């Protein structure tokens, strides 16, 4: 009797074990659970750091950098971008229309909702992508996604969202979940000759030094973009930073409008839902 | 008799070895083609290293200058690097999950 029970038990256990990887492999993505775990990880790693302060990135971990940053912010280096961006935003297209005519809420105070998933196209749309779509719809050429003037325009639009909590949504649809999962995979995948993933620096080594730089935690990292970087000497978008990160780990970067980068931005920004928009920012 | 064997060996084998060791236009082109094929594979896996492309570029430049030795060496380096990036991409298809924050 005992022997029979043992055999039955062993068979059940074997079947359950065999089914586990299948169940795991086919498990439906759960963005809300991921987000909860992601934020909890950083809360437990840096218990004294309020959640909203993560948007200040590296300045939470280096007093000297924070002091310098505060002084720099007396005259924010991105001010020129804001002025240019505002002027661009308010300038009518040759057909008499403007950005306000083709973006939600007239394009003001909407940055916290991007990237968003467009069910019609089945793709993630970034704020810069929406701006370019607006331009194309009005007979203008799309702008390059990495630097000015796009960075200026997005900087101004992001400024109108300052303080609003990030509110990126992942709809419960197969395509949206696939895009989210793709972004998540990209974030955690090691690449390049140095064998680094985004997570290597911005999760595992967050808050530590990499040579002279303090590595910003992934949580809240998108909230300050576009950023004026002293290294660049001008303002750049989030995708510009993605390109730079790929180059730093000796990986050939993707195209700025690639699904890889759009989905990565989607995942990363969704992880920071609830944190306030702080862009445009200033970084070393 | 020993000398006869040695002479036979030298006559038959050494020219072959020498030919194999001396890169030619054909061998350089073959190495470049092999590198390009591996590079295409790693590109399909979304994982290309700049050093791979730099090595291929060097190989092609050397081949143009009829420096077949350099061309072959650089092409083989490019193929090796592309192979490593391919290996990285394939292994990461599963391994990335180990790094996920739970």
Q: What is the pLDDT of residue A212?
A: 84
Q: What is the ipTM of this complex?
A: 0.82
> Quick one: A227 and A136 in the same domain?
no
| A191, A199, A251 member nearest B99 (Cβ) | A199
Q: Please, what is the Cα angle at A32 between A30 and A176, to 5 degrees?
A: 60
Range B46-52 average pLDDT:
95
> Quick one: A93 and A177 in the same domain?
no
Residue where the block lists tokens 């809360």 = A43
What's the predicted TM-score (pTM) here? 0.87
> Quick one: A183 and A138 in the same domain?
no
Give the structural domain span for A111: 79-159
> Quick one: A184 and A224 in the same domain?
yes
Are A195 and B47 a contacting pair at CB < 8 A? no
Q: What is the pLDDT of residue A87?
A: 96
Q: What is the pLDDT of residue B89?
A: 96
> Quick one: A192 and A245 in the same domain?
yes
* Partners of A123 in the β-ladder: A118
DSSP A154-167: HHHHHHTTTTPBP-
Interface-testing mutation among B85, B89, B100, B102, with chain A (most A C-beta atoms within 10 A): B100
Are A251 and B50 a contacting pair at CB < 8 A? yes
> Do the domain assignments include residue A244?
yes
Are A191 and B89 a contacting pair at CB < 8 A? yes
Domain tally, chain A? 2
Mean of the per-residue pLDDT values of chain B: 88
Which domain-ending residue is among A138, A159, A180?
A159
> Quick one: A148 and A258 in the same domain?
no
> Do the domain assignments include residue A227?
yes
> Quick one: A225 and A268 in the same domain?
yes
Whether the bond into A226 is cis, omega within 30 of 0: yes
DSSP code of residue A196: B
> Quick one: A130 and A248 in the same domain?
no
For β-strands A281-283 and A227-229, DSSP reports them as parallel
Whether the bond into A280 is cis, omega within 30 of 0: yes
Sign, Cα dihedral of A169, A160, A280, A138: positive
Instruction: Report yes or no: B47 at the A interface, CB cutoff 8 Å.
Output: yes
Instruction: Report yes or no: B69 at the A interface, CB cutoff 8 Å.
Output: no
pLDDT, greater one: B52 or A5: B52
Are B99 and A38 a contacting pair at CB < 8 A? no
Name the closest residue on chain A to residue B45, using Cα atoms.
A191
Q: What is the pLDDT of residue B1?
A: 52
How distant, in Å, are the alpha carbons of A46, A64, A86, A224, A284 from that of A54? 10, 17, 27, 10, 16
Interface-testing mutation among A21, A183, A186, A188, with chain B (most B C-beta atoms within 10 A): A188
State yes or no: is A201 an active-site residue: no
Distance from CA of B53 to the nearest CA of A (A): 9
Instruction: Report yes or no: B26 at the A interface, CB cutoff 8 Å.
Output: no
Q: What is the pLDDT of residue A16?
A: 44
pLDDT, greater one: A1 or B23: B23
> Quick one: A198 and A232 in the same domain?
yes
Give the C-alpha separation, A236 to A63, whole Å: 25
For helices A150-159 and A79-90, what crossing angle results, to 10°? 90
Are B49 and A192 a contacting pair at CB < 8 A? yes
> Do the domain assignments include residue A9?
no
> Quick one: A97 and A144 in the same domain?
yes
pLDDT along chain A (284 residues), means of 10: 50 46 65 97 95 95 92 94 96 95 96 97 97 96 96 97 97 96 97 97 93 92 96 95 96 96 98 96 93
Q: What is the pLDDT of residue B102?
A: 87
Give the C-alpha separation, B53 to B75, whole Å: 10
- Share above pLDDT 70 across residues of chain A, in percent, rounded to a whole number: 91
CATH number, residue A143: 1.10.760.10
Are A190 and B85 a contacting pair at CB < 8 A? no
> Do the domain assignments include residue A230?
yes
């Amino acid at each position: 009797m005992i022997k029979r029970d043992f055999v039955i038990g062993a068979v059940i256990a074997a079947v359950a074990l065999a089914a586990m990887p299948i169940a795991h492999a086919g498990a439906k993505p759960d963005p809300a659970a991921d987000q909860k775990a992601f934020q909890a990880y950083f809360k437990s790693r840096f218990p004294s750091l309020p959640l909203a302060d993560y948007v200040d990135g590296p300045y939470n971990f280096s007093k000297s950098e924070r002091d310098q940053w505060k002084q720099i912010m007396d005259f924010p280096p991105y001010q020129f971008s804001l002025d240019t961006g505002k002027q661009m935003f308010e300038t009518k297209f040759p057909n008499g229309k403007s950005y306000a005519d083709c973006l939600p809420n007239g394009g003001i105070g909407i940055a916290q909702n991007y990237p968003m998933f467009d069910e019609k196209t089945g793709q993630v749309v970034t704020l810069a992508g929406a701006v370019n779509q607006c331009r194309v719809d009005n007979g203008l050429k799309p702008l390059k996604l990495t630097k000015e003037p796009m960075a200026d325009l997005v900087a101004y639009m992001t400024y109108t969202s300052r303080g609003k909590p990030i509110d990126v949504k992942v709809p419960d649809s197969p395509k949206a979940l696939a895009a989210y999962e793709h972004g998540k995979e990209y974030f955690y995948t090691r690449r390049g000759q140095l064998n680094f993933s985004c997570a290597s620096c911005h999760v595992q080594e967050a808050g530590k030094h990499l040579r002279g730089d303090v590595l910003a935690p992934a949580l809240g990292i998108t909230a300050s973009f576009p950023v004026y970087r002293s290294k660049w000497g001008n303002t750049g978008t989030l995708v510009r930073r993605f390109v730079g990160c790929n180059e730093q780990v000796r990986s050939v970067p993707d195209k700025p409008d690639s699904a890889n980068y759009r989905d990565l931005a989607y995942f990363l920004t969704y992880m920071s839902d609830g944190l306030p928009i702080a862009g445009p920012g200033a970084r070393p | 008799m020993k000398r006869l064997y040695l002479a036979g060996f030298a006559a038959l084998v050494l020219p072959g070895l020498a030919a194999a060791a001396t890169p030619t236009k054909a061998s350089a082109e073959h190495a470049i083609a092999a590198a390009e094929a591996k590079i295409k594979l790693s590109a399909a896996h979304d994982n290309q290293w700049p050093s791979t492309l730099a090595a291929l570029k060097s190989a092609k430049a050397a081949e143009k200058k009829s420096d077949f030795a350099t061309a072959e060496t650089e092409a083989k380096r490019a193929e090796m690097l592309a192979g490593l990036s391919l290996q990285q991409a394939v292994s990461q298809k599963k391994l990335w999950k180990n790094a996920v924050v739970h």
